[in-house]
Structure 1
Amino acid sequence: MARLNLLEETRFEKLPVTVYPDEQTASVRVARRIADLILAKQKKGEQAVLGLATGATPVGVYAELVRLHREEGLSFRNVITFNLDEYYPMQPDAAQSYVTFMNENLFDHVDIPRENVHIPDGTLERDEIAAYCLNYEHMIEELNGLDLQILGIGRTGHIGFNEPGSAPNSGTRLVTLDDLTRRDASRDFGGKENVPTKAITMGIGTIFKAREIILMAWSRKKAPIIKKAVEGEISSEVPATYLQLSDNVEFVLDEDAASELTRFDTPWLVKDCVWDEQLTKKAVIWLSETVKKPILKLTEEDYNNHGMAQLATERGPAYNINIDIFNQLQRTITGWPGGKPQADDKQRPERAEPAKKRVVIFSPHPDDDVISMGGTFIRLVDQGHEVHVAYQTSGNTAVWDDDVLRYMEFAIDFDRSIGEDSGKLKDLYEDMRQFFSTKQPNQPDTQEIRNVKGFIRKSEAFAAARFAGLPDKRIHFMALPFYEEGKLRKNPVTDEDIELTMALLREVKPHQIFAAGDFADPHGTHIVCFRIILEALRRLRETEDWIEDCWLWMYRGAWHEFDTHEIEMAVPLSPQEVERKRFAIFKHQSQKDRPVFPGDDAREFWVRAEERNRETARHYDQLGLADYEAMEAFVRFRY
């Protein structure tokens, strides 16, 4: 019976999928499977032939393999590896090369013989590539093929660098990279213009010959393409769908990457459900959007025709369910994000008392606050709360180099205008110009340049917070140390980051904290900053009584938005408030027009924010609630 239930649950899935709670757990399990293969081959006196992948996805697997080597004596002496791909052209000692990646993450830390390591050569002359690729295939065939191939997946659906349009029988070859693939790699190269347009990749046909294939994916960013690869039709437009034809493949996912698969996203379509409040809310909203009716107009027939007959039977009649969910959504809407004084707050998102709250808005970068919750920020100030804003990082990596020169020129001219000697500034300015003239992509800036970039972001942040109505004493530019070495790969978080956060919280003793819950940012800074806040609160809870009355609200907006069923507080904005928010965002001039790191969304941040806020309001309107100009959304985090 359990087997039949599982088959029904996964009936939309066209290949085997294993889901783990998180990336770390999944990575350890995959590493264990690789280790078991190596050990089994050692017992037989045979070599283990592995196909390896690069990118962020397998980093945890390699880290666990290194641990197994160091702590449990796992030897790699009998291992032969073939990497999937390499950019072309690419020098092996370049920071972005996959030779560097594999050495840093695996090969430099284990006992694999170097002659057993094979990575496509990015230094070849063009007329040498075809013969080289044939030989790469021949070497794999001579070893009787790959025992195990591990894969990641790109957002185009590529495996290796087999982009849309690749043939299922393709071999190792030179390919042209998709524009989205190059955009995703742009941060590593200091801009898309520096990303190679081509790569050498093992072909889909070569991958298929492996005796075992494991494709791994983590995070919600991969959820849409995972759904296509697992549940979609086989198509050259999504090369990973070819894996549906293999008898030897398994997808290993974390819960976030699996979140859009039918059994997790809309489980009522494949199984009987335990209809708790959250699932009921999600399902009714989904039904309303699917049949394009306001919630209060949904009928028993709508429920029955869309996999929700069980819900209508258990909790119906349908109209009673509709009324309940409508009222739940209605109660999320509030014009009082700090709580409405002297109001009955039993069904309001925030407490009525104290009427004037102490509030800390944490902003990972110096503009996340106004981009994501600028309207709510301004309203909290207007309603008389003691609002503090804390900019967790300086954001100094996201300033154009020519802005540094412009500000330095201003400083030199200002000194000259008041009769000051600007000799030192002039010398520093010339040093900066010289540095920029030879600067390589992603080369860390000098300390002086980082300082100027940080000053630029700081001045903009202060201007925006002042525009929102804050006095300077409530603006805290923290510049947490983990961020401040000027590299794109940040330092690990230390006690200093947490203690600085604890000190601010002790000083303010807030009733409300707002923090970025938008973990889709391409920098990874948001999740790091959020974890720092959580750890600071955990430690403070041991000694500080006020923590029990402090609520933590998450906001999103710059990169992603909460789904409607997740929203616990929706703050409506008038057209005038939307305009005030826009002007606050405009204070961040270094991020206007074209930010250094825009991600894969070409819109300016203020445009993204406004369109997302309007879309949230549109969803509420379509569900049958009031029609507002825009809405900012929040979810309470219960720590």
Structure 2
Amino acid sequence: MSLPTTTIIDRLAVEVHPDEAAMGNAAAESAAAVINSALAERGAARVVIATGNSQYAFTDALVGQDIDWSRVTVFHMDEYVGIDADHPASFQRWIRERIEALLNPARVEYIRGRGDAAAEADRYEALLREAPLDLVCMGIGENGHLAFNEPHQADFDDQRWVRIITLTDESRRQQVGEGHFPDFDSVPATAISLTVPALLAATKVQICAPESRKADAVHATLTAPISNACPATVLRRTPHATLFLEPASAAKLDFVP
């Protein structure tokens, strides 16, 4: 059987593409269809976009899509507490350089890492709740987290849409491994993050999880019991979600040839 391979695991659509570029293109085309549908129906769209190395293929391909970004508002999904917007590892900076500068959306709403974190969580939640979210584009962490909703901490029924999260050691090590910080102690211990209910509230949810370092997390997402031991397992009860993979990240899945 040749790639792409598509299947449904519980209620989650899964697509495995021939390589990371093909995965990114497929995800970008899907995102464009959702955004353009919202623009046609309401004249505006509201999109949440993840940051991180695993999103490069997707955001690179998104630049080439035919979308009227002048009618799109962009949110991101997490930021370290206490970090400056110009810090090399800042998610604000990532969005500014890879989304705002290249796509020129109508508005980008940033989570501010500096200042009163609790007040910022309240402020950002209010912005998110002002109108429906059309699309959430996210990844899966090496430990199965979604945004920074960590194993055994994530609340699938959280009443909050934004809250302060304590990062696990594994998540902090992942940030060092991706080259964002020089060492473990440099990684902030807390972050402001969208919660699981906020991430799944959009009309469409899509997840890009490439690279071999995500293979264990992807396998757990699709085979482990649905629980917050692996937060990403909640995707299997999300019929409006699609998981985009490539051979390295799908290497431990039985249904992939």
**TM-score, normalised via structure 2 length:** 0.89
CA distance in 2, matches of 1:189, 1:16: 34
- Asked if residue 148 in structure 1 is aligned to residue 140 in structure 2, the reply is no
Give 1:78's aligned residue.
Answer: 71
Q: Match for 2:243 among 245, 251, 266? A: 251
Superposition CA RMSD, Å: 1.9
- Which deviates more, 197-206 or 35-44? 35-44
- Asked if residue 239 in structure 1 is aligned to residue 236 in structure 2, the reply is no
- Asked if residue 28 in structure 1 is aligned to residue 32 in structure 2, the reply is no
Q: Match for 1:44 among 41, 45, 49? A: 41
| 8 Å contact from structure 1 (residues 75, 111) kept in 2 | no
| 8 Å contact from structure 1 (residues 50, 149) kept in 2 | yes
User: Shift of the alpha carbon at 1:29?
Assistant: 1.4
- Asked if residue 55 in structure 1 is aligned to residue 46 in structure 2, the reply is no
Q: Match for 2:95 among 97, 102, 107? A: 102
The amino acid that maps onto 2:127 is M
| 8 Å contact from structure 1 (residues 86, 98) kept in 2 | yes
- Asked if residue 124 in structure 1 is aligned to residue 111 in structure 2, the reply is no
**Structure-to-structure mapping, 1:33-432, within 5 angstroms:** 33-68=30-65, 74-113=67-106, 116-125=107-116, 129-144=117-132, 146-165=133-152, 166-170=154-158, 171-186=161-176, 187-264=179-256
The amino acid that maps onto 2:199 is I
| 8 Å contact from structure 2 (residues 38, 134) kept in 1 | no
The amino acid that maps onto 2:144 is G
**Structure-to-structure mapping, 1:382-531, within 5 angstroms:** none
Please tell me whether Structure 1 or Structure 2 has the larger radius of gyration of its CA atoms. Answer: 1
Structure 1: state its 5+ residue gaps: 1-5, 268-639
User: Shift of the alpha carbon at 1:45?
Assistant: 4.7
User: Shift of the alpha carbon at 1:10?
Assistant: 5.7
CA distance in 2, matches of 1:212, 1:65: 16
CA distance in 1, matches of 2:87, 2:115: 15
User: Shift of the alpha carbon at 1:137?
Assistant: 2.2
CA distance in 2, matches of 1:43, 1:250: 22
CA distance in 2, matches of 1:143, 1:154: 28
Deviations 1:445-477 (A, max 9, x none): xxxxxxxxxxxxxxxxxxxxxxxxxxxxxxxxx
CA distance in 2, matches of 1:245, 1:211: 15
Identity %: 28
Structure 2: state its 5+ residue gaps: none
Q: Which runs of 4+ in 1 moved over 4 A?
A: none
| 8 Å contact from structure 1 (residues 158, 164) kept in 2 | yes
Give 1:389's aligned residue.
Answer: none
Q: Which structure has more strand as a fraction of its residues? A: 2
The amino acid that maps onto 2:249 is A
CA distance in 2, matches of 1:17, 1:10: 5
**TM-score, normalised via structure 1 length:** 0.37
| 8 Å contact from structure 2 (residues 77, 147) kept in 1 | yes
Give 1:633's aligned residue.
Answer: none
CA distance in 1, matches of 2:138, 2:18: 19
| 8 Å contact from structure 2 (residues 164, 190) kept in 1 | yes
The number of aligned residues is 247
SS of aligned partner of 2:124: helix
SS of aligned partner of 2:70: coil
| 8 Å contact from structure 1 (residues 16, 250) kept in 2 | yes
CA distance in 2, matches of 1:247, 1:84: 21
| 8 Å contact from structure 1 (residues 174, 201) kept in 2 | yes
The amino acid that maps onto 1:104 is E
CA distance in 2, matches of 1:103, 1:10: 35
The amino acid that maps onto 1:255 is P
SS of aligned partner of 2:112: coil
The amino acid that maps onto 1:227 is H
Q: Which structure has more helix as a fraction of its residues? A: 1
User: Shift of the alpha carbon at 1:75?
Assistant: 2.5
User: Shift of the alpha carbon at 1:130?
Assistant: 2.8
CA shift in 2, pair 1:249/1:37, >3 Å: closer
CA distance in 2, matches of 1:249, 1:40: 16
| 8 Å contact from structure 1 (residues 52, 81) kept in 2 | yes
CA distance in 2, matches of 1:37, 1:78: 13
